[in-house]
Structure 1
């Protein structure tokens, strides 16, 4: 699980870096010309590409976890149909109570 947390941390760090670079570009956009502007644009582009890669890998990890959870749920329902029905009825009853109180 630490690997998944690391991916989220990496994604968050990439977006923070992207925001920071973008803020810097906006603050210095009037002053920067030529090589300095190109260098900062290159840094922002690099940060954006890293953030996209991190987002893509996080998306893939979430899809895989969702597929595993769906498969596990389907197996449980097949193995315990009456318990699943009772759980569903209980959840429906509780939701009905919550909605009717409004």
Structure 2
């Protein structure tokens, strides 16, 4: 009877330790994923800001080309949509 209590206590202790270790591993994985996501988010955010700045500079330096390009895109999109219907 005493042996089965010892076995049960050992199982209980082992289970608790495994659960504690798993919780720690999950917290570490979550932390790593969060850090990787934040790094990637900041990188994309920075690149988007640079793209916006570059676009603004281009529009300021070439306003006529920009308007003509926008008109061409609109004309082509309109022609394609008209063909569909």
TM-score of the superposed pair, with normalisation by structure 1? 0.63
- Consecutive unaligned residues of structure 2, counting only runs of 5 or more, are 1-13
Larger radius of gyration: 2
1:62 aligns with 2:44: yes
- Number of residue pairs matched by the alignment: 71
Give 1:80's aligned residue. Answer: 62
Give 1:21's aligned residue. Answer: none
Structure 2: how far apart are the matches of 1:37 and 1:98?
60
What's the offset of the Cα at 1:98?
A: 3.3
The structure richer in helix per residue is 2
What's the offset of the Cα at 1:96?
A: 1.9
RMSD of aligned Cα (Å): 1.6
Structure 1: how far apart are the matches of 2:81 and 2:34?
40
State the Cα deviation string for residues 38-85 of structure 1 (Å, max 9, x = none). 111111110011000110111111111011000100000011011101
Larger RCO (CA under 8 A, 6+ residues apart): 1
